[in-house]
Amino acid sequence: MQLLQSKNKIIKRKDLIDTLRNKVGIQHGDTICIHSSLLHLGTPLLPKDMFLKTIIESFYDAVGKKGTMIMPTFTYSFCKNQVYNKLQSKSTMGALSEFFRTQENVTRTNDPIFSFAIKGERKQYFLKNTTSCFGENSVYDMLAKENGKIILFGTEESGYTFSHFIEEKIQVPYRYYKTFSGKIIDENNQSYNRDIKYYVRDTSKNKSKLLLYNQIALLQLTNNFKKITFANSHIISINAKQWLDDFSSLIQKDYYILVRELI
């Protein structure tokens, strides 16, 4: 099946599966969290829904029946004083994420700010309620404990939210807990009020914003940034546990290593 055209080359479904398995290194039984951007891959050769479905099925083929597939479906609902409706609130994380959350046997987490859609063998493991967006039992916490992989599909410029989980775990001094409140409507159309903490950055401090290229440079330095050319873009694989361990060590030596310019 022809999937997309990249410059003068036709990329087929089997090319994507081969890349995921044999180059990116995704194995049967893996737990993967996919951050995606499809804009730079090339020109789709299938209708939109079939194109998105084919990409998702290719990832399914890579992880197999024993694997688990996760995608961020962040809504920032409580930050915007909006109701978080698990079935209706749209993902802000791109077309693939939005399509994935609506598919059969996909369950969405209860987080009204940073939700994830999940399908697979270990799904229930990631559906625990948390008191903080990136705290204990959050999806990223579980992903590290499961030795999962974070996959950046079609992008090198986004998908590094995992660092916020590490910042909270280490309690960096340029962030603080802020409580957000609002209403959640669950999959049974039942509504309830909820509070959740988010370890937000202190904008009054000059050095409080994560610098993208600091994260990439440090991931490369720790040999945890497997980058494979695919179509007009890339697929990147990062081991979640190693990301946590390496960055925790680096931050404890220099609390501002992620937010100041590296020389």
Q: What is the pLDDT of residues 34-55, one digit of tens each?
A: 999 999 999 999 999 999 999 9
Q: What is the pLDDT of residues 58-94, one digit of tens each?
A: 999 999 999 999 999 999 999 999 999 999 999 999 9
Is residue 11 within 8 A of residue 3, CB to CB? The reply is yes
In whole angstroms, what is the distance from residue 106 CA to residue 241 CA? 24
pLDDT at position 260: 87
DSSP E strands in the chain: the ranges are 2-6, 9-12, 31-36, 43-44, 68-72, 84-85, 107-108, 116-120, 149-153, 175-185, 191-201, 226-230, 233-239
pLDDT at position 88: 97
Is residue 63 within 8 A of residue 30, CB to CB? The reply is yes
- When pLDDT is cut at 50, 70 and 90, the band that residue 154 belongs to is very high
* Phi and psi angles of residue 116, each rounded to the nearest 5 degrees, phi first: -130, 150
Is residue 16 within 8 A of residue 24, CB to CB? The reply is no
Query: Mutual orientation of helices 240-253 and 162-170 as an angle, nearest 10°?
Result: 50
- When pLDDT is averaged across residues 137-159 and rounded to a whole number, the result is 97
- When pLDDT is cut at 50, 70 and 90, the band that residue 262 belongs to is confident
Q: What is the pLDDT of residues 159-197, one digit of tens each?
A: 999 999 999 999 999 999 999 999 999 999 999 999 999
pLDDT at position 186: 96
Q: Is the pLDDT of residue 248 over 60?
A: yes
Instruction: Decide if 30 is inside a domain.
Output: yes
Residue 175 is classified by DSSP as E
In whole angstroms, what is the distance from residue 71 CA to residue 100 CA? 8
Is residue 195 within 8 A of residue 181, CB to CB? The reply is yes
Instruction: Decide if 138 is inside a domain.
Output: yes
Is residue 175 within 8 A of residue 167, CB to CB? The reply is yes
- When pLDDT is cut at 50, 70 and 90, the band that residue 205 belongs to is confident
Task: Name the residue with tokens 């873009």.
Answer: 233
Q: List the one residue out of 144, 135, 126 whose CA is nearest residue 242.
A: 144
Instruction: Decide if 259 is inside a domain.
Output: no
- When pLDDT is averaged across residues 142-152 and rounded to a whole number, the result is 97
Instruction: Decide if 258 is inside a domain.
Output: no
Instruction: Decide if 220 is inside a domain.
Output: yes
Q: What is the pLDDT of residues 24-34, one digit of tens each?
A: 999 999 999 99
pLDDT at position 66: 97
pLDDT at position 263: 55
Write down the mean pLDDT value for the chain.
96
Instruction: Decide if 260 is inside a domain.
Output: no
Q: Is the pLDDT of residue 238 over 60?
A: yes
Instruction: Decide if 45 is inside a domain.
Output: yes
Range from 3-7, 68-72, 162-166, 223-227 carrying the lowest mean pLDDT: 3-7
- Sign for the CA dihedral angle at 84, 111, 164, 160 comes to negative
Tokens of 58: 């290719």
Q: Show the domain range for 129.
A: 2-253
- When divided into structural domains, the chain yields a total of 1
* Phi and psi angles of residue 231, each rounded to the nearest 5 degrees, phi first: 55, -130
Instruction: Decide if 263 is inside a domain.
Output: no
